[in-house]
Amino acid sequence: MIVKADEITKQFLRKRENSNVFYAVEKTTAEFRGGNLIMIYGQSGSGKSTWMNMLGGILQPSSGRVLYDRTELYAMDDDTLSKFRNQHIGMIPQGQTAIHSMNVRENILLPFSLYGKEISAETGERADRMLEEMGIADLSAVMPSELSGGELRRMAIARALIRQPEVIFADEPTGDLDDENTRTVLSILRRQADMGKLVMVVTHDREVAEFADLTYRMSGGRLCLEEPEQIV
Ligand SMILES: Nc1ncnc2c1ncn2[C@@H]1O[C@H](COP(=O)(O)OP(=O)(O)O)[C@@H](O)[C@H]1O
Ligand SMILES: [Mg+2]
């Protein structure tokens, strides 16, 4: 899968002296291919989440197009887009996303139960494999309130990966994790890229660079590719 941002921008309203709008993301064109882990690095407020959400189909750009191969995301109606997202895109949002009335396994199966379909035996087995892969198999029946930050994050990743999406976005996936959990989470995402998926990690954590094929810097809504020697 090739994901292309074609001259996308995002403007938000903000009262200022001269103008009421500002660009959270300035006009950007970029193309990303499966098999790569892309790191988008930048300070808080630089536009990283805005960028990721536009590429991930949950925030319509103010102008420009987002293409998944030849499919234009925001040309689809809402229902079609949300089905497309459910099939092709795995989102690991920033912060906490657990449903607290469901146990870990049910949380992971959410992308299936969302459409009211019954969970097939095969899907159930996939959930169990996923739990195993994330190292949380023993927590299957546990409620999220009993999990540590690292375990919750791995649960969120399992949920994003359960439908085997070709494109995976992670917003600050290591933000609240210790070193060991950070490396575990990044290895999981790295493995997805090695399997041919496109993985985009938005972060202010420099450690991600070590796992990335390409590093971009977001600064004041401007995205630029960093040369390897610039990364420290
Ligand atoms: N819905 C919104 N309405 C107005 N301004 C917003 C909105 N979302 C984000 N912003 C602003 O856009 C800028 C970029 O935000 P964001 O993409 O969340 O940055 P980052 O993820 O890099 O911390 C910030 O100045 C933020 O305040
Ligand atoms: Mg953010």
pLDDT at 231 over 60: no
Identity of the residue numbered 55: L
Pick from 21, 25, 50, 55 the residue to mutate for probing ligand 1's pocket: most ligand atoms within 8 Å of its CB: 50
Task: Tell me what the pLDDT averaged over the chain comes to.
Answer: 93
Query: What is the average pLDDT across 66-83?
Result: 97
Residue 129 neighbours by CB distance under 10 Å: 13
43 Cα–ligand 2 center, Å: 9
The minimum-distance atom of ligand 1 relative to the CA of 50 is 17
**What would the two tokens of residue 113 be?**
């139960």
pLDDT at 21 over 80: yes
Query: What is the average pLDDT across 13-40?
Result: 91
| Residue 24 in contact with ligand 1 by CB distance below 6 A | yes
CA distance 180 to 121: 33
Query: What is the average pLDDT across 210-226?
Result: 95
| Residue 48 in contact with ligand 1 by CB distance below 6 A | yes
Residue 139 lies in a domain: no
Pick from 11, 12, 48, 203 the residue to mutate for probing ligand 1's pocket: most ligand atoms within 8 Å of its CB: 12
- The range of the structural domain enclosing residue 61 comes to 2-97+165-230
**Which residue CA neighbors atom 6 of ligand 1 most closely?**
12
131 Cα–ligand 1 center, Å: 33
**pLDDT tens, position by position, 162-171:** 999 999 999 9
Give, as residue ranges, everything with CB less than 5 Å from ion ligand 2. 48-49
Residue 115 lies in a domain: no
Residue 212 lies in a domain: yes
Let me know: does 56 contact 91? Beta carbons within 8 Å. Answer: yes
Among 167, 205, 2, 192, which Cα is nearest to 91's? 167
**Which residue CA neighbors atom 3 of ligand 1 most closely?**
12
Identity of the residue numbered 202: V
- Long-range contacts, 154-158 (Cβ 8 Å, 24+): 154/184, 154/185, 154/188, 155/98, 155/104, 155/107, 155/108, 156/92, 156/93, 156/97, 156/98, 157/92, 157/185, 157/188, 157/189, 158/108, 158/127, 158/130, 158/131, 158/133, 158/134
The whole-number pLDDT of residue 140 equals 97
pLDDT at 102 over 90: yes
Q: What are phi and psi of 87, to 5 degrees?
A: -85, -40
Q: What percent of the chain has pLDDT over 70?
A: 97
Residue 73 lies in a domain: yes
User: Band of the pLDDT at 228, cuts 50, 70, 90?
Assistant: low
Q: What percent of the chain has pLDDT over 90?
A: 78
Residue 110 lies in a domain: no
- Per the structure, the count of domains in the chain is 1
4 Cα–ligand 1 center, Å: 22
Residue 130 lies in a domain: no
* Residue scoring higher pLDDT (166 or 120): 166
User: Band of the pLDDT at 80, cuts 50, 70, 90?
Assistant: very high
**Which residue CA neighbors atom 16 of ligand 1 most closely?**
47
Let me know: does 30 contact 224? Beta carbons within 8 Å. Answer: no
Identity of the residue numbered 112: F
The whole-number pLDDT of residue 206 equals 85
CA distance 61 to 59: 6
**What would the two tokens of residue 134 be?**
């994330």
Residue 105 lies in a domain: no
User: Band of the pLDDT at 151, cuts 50, 70, 90?
Assistant: very high
Residue 157 lies in a domain: no
Query: What is the average pLDDT across 219-224?
Result: 96
pLDDT at 128 over 80: yes
Q: What is the per-residue burial (b if ≥16 Cβ within 10 Å, else e) of 5-34?
A: bbebbbbeeeeeeeeeeebbbebbebebee
The minimum-distance atom of ligand 1 relative to the CA of 172 is 21
Query: What is the average pLDDT across 125-145?
Result: 94
CA distance 45 to 183: 25
Residue 175 neighbours by CB distance under 10 Å: 14
123 Cα–ligand 2 center, Å: 32
The whole-number pLDDT of residue 147 equals 95
- pTM score: 0.93
Among 14, 41, 172, which Cα is nearest to 97's? 172
CATH number of domain containing 84: 3.40.50.300
C-alpha pair distances (Å), 20 with each of 16, 27, 50: 6, 18, 18
10 Cα–ligand 1 center, Å: 10
